[in-house]
Amino acid sequence: MAKGKNDLLQGTLTLLVLKTLCRGPVHGYGITAHIQRVSSDQLRVEEGSLYPALHRMEQEGWISSEWGLTDTNRRARFYSLTATGRQQLEQEEQSWARLIHSVASVLQEA
């Protein structure tokens, strides 16, 4: 499938994943589905980026994971936010807000 225009901006994936996990443990597919749904299909998470990212985040200690069962009784790996992950989320939200604000200012000025 060709990459669409709605590819994620680099670096925002972490933020989105952290935010998604904020509501409780979710498995990888759930994360893509959630982001897609909430953004009304505007944002698509590439599987090719998601799993390495999840892995890296786990290594960083922001998220933890364990095997569990889904509603349909499938074995899946569930990711949840750690305390450090929560802090990281806060930081990233702030810097995202700053970025949006600055970009918006520039756009208004012009």
Partner 1 sequence: MGLWSRLQGTFKRREVEARLDAELQFHMDMHTDELIAQGHPEAEARAMARCQLGNAAKLREEAREVDMLLWIENWGRDFKQSVRSLRKRPVFTLTSIASLAVGIGAVTSLFSVVDAVVWKPVALPRAEELVFVDEYKKGQKTGSNGPRMRDWQTLSSFSSATGYYGDSVVWKGPNGAESIRTVRIYSGGTATFQLSPIVGRNFRADEEAGEHAVLLSEAFWRKRFNADPAVTNQTIQLNGQPYGIVGVLPASVTISHEVELWLPAERTLQLGNRKSGYLGVVGRLKPGVTREQAQAEANILTARMQKENRDSDEGLQAALIGVSDELSRDARTPLLLLFGVVSCVLLMIAVNLSALLLARAGERERESALRTALGATTGSLIRLYLAETLLLAFVGTAIGLLLALSGVDLLKTILPGGIARLDQARVDWRVLGCGISLAFAVSFVAGLIPSWMAARGTSLKDDGRTTASRQGMWLRNGFVVAEIALGLLLVTTAVRMAETFAEVSQRTRALETSQKIAVTVPYSWTTPDERVSAFNKAAMERFSALPGTTQVGMIDRLPLGGGTQSGEVEISGINPTGSMNCGKRSASSSYFATMGIPLLRGRLFEDRAKRNEIVVNESFVRKFLNGTDPIGRKVQFARNKGSLEIVGVVGNIRQEASQQEANPELFLYFEDGFWPISNFVIRSTTPLSVLGPMIRQEVGNLDSMVVIDRLSSLDEALGEATSAPRIRSYLVGSFALLALVLAAIGIHGLIAADVARRWKEFGIRLALGGSVPALRTMLLKRAAWLLSIGSVLGIAAVVGTSKLLESAVEGLQPARVATGLIVALLILLAALAAIWWPLRRLAGVDPASALRHE
Q: How many CB atoms lie within 10 A of CB 51?
A: 12
Task: Rank residues 38 and 100 by Cβ distance to partner 1 and give the closer one.
Answer: 38
CA atoms within 13 A on the CB side of 94: 6
Torsion of CA 13, 36, 63, 101, to 10 degrees: 50
* By CB under 8 A, residue 77 contacts partner 1: yes
* By CB under 8 A, residue 60 contacts partner 1: yes
Among 10, 40, 59, 73, binds partner 1 (CB under 8 A): 59
Residues that bind partner 1 (CB under 8 A): 1, 27-29, 32-33, 46-48, 51-52, 55-56, 59-61, 72, 74-77
